[in-house]
């Protein structure tokens, strides 16, 4: 029971490392961006895991219900805005990849580096 309560953290660790692994070992720049998104999602999961309180509900006050237990609203606020910022920065990264492809004709980082060294 105690161990199951830690499962979220293990998934956080595994997802974070899957993202990091793909980020450093994949050559394709689009894959790198998606890896960054996985890495980011892992952090989101970590925050939201910490916001949960047993027997709690989503932090919305219901009229006429006394002594409600609420989950922690603060991590939820931070992650809510971070998700929208995340998609904007992903789009920015993707735009850079598209421009790189127009200039170099490839989106593999080793080929781009090789071209840079030749010139």
Residue 43 interacts with another protein (CB under 8 A)? Answer: no
Taking the C-alpha atoms of residue 79 and residue 47, their distance in angstroms, rounded to an integer, is: 7
Residue 115 interacts with another protein (CB under 8 A)? Answer: no
Taking the C-alpha atoms of residue 26 and residue 97, their distance in angstroms, rounded to an integer, is: 14
Size of the site for another protein (CB under 8 A): 84
| Token pair in block for residue 46 | 């970590």
Classify 3 as helix, strand or coil: coil
For residues 46-85, which are near another protein according to CB under 8 A?
48-54, 56-63, 69-85
Contact residue for another protein among 92, 113, 114, 115 (CB under 8 A): 92
Residue 41 interacts with another protein (CB under 8 A)? Answer: yes
């Amino acid at each position: 029971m105690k161990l199951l309560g830690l499962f979220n953290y293990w998934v956080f660790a595994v997802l974070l490392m899957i993202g990091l692994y793909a980020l450093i070992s994949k050559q394709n720049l689009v894959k790198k961006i998606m890896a960054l998104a996985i890495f980011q999602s892992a952090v989101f999961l970590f925050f939201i895991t910490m916001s949960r309180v047993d027997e709690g509900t989503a932090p919305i006050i219901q009229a006429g219900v006394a002594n409600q237990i609420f989950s922690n609203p603060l991590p939820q606020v931070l992650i809510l805005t971070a998700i929208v910022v995340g998609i904007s920065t992903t789009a920015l990264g993707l735009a850079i990849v598209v421009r790189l492809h127009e200039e170099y004709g490839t989106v593999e980082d080793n080929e781009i580096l090789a071209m840079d060294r030749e010139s």
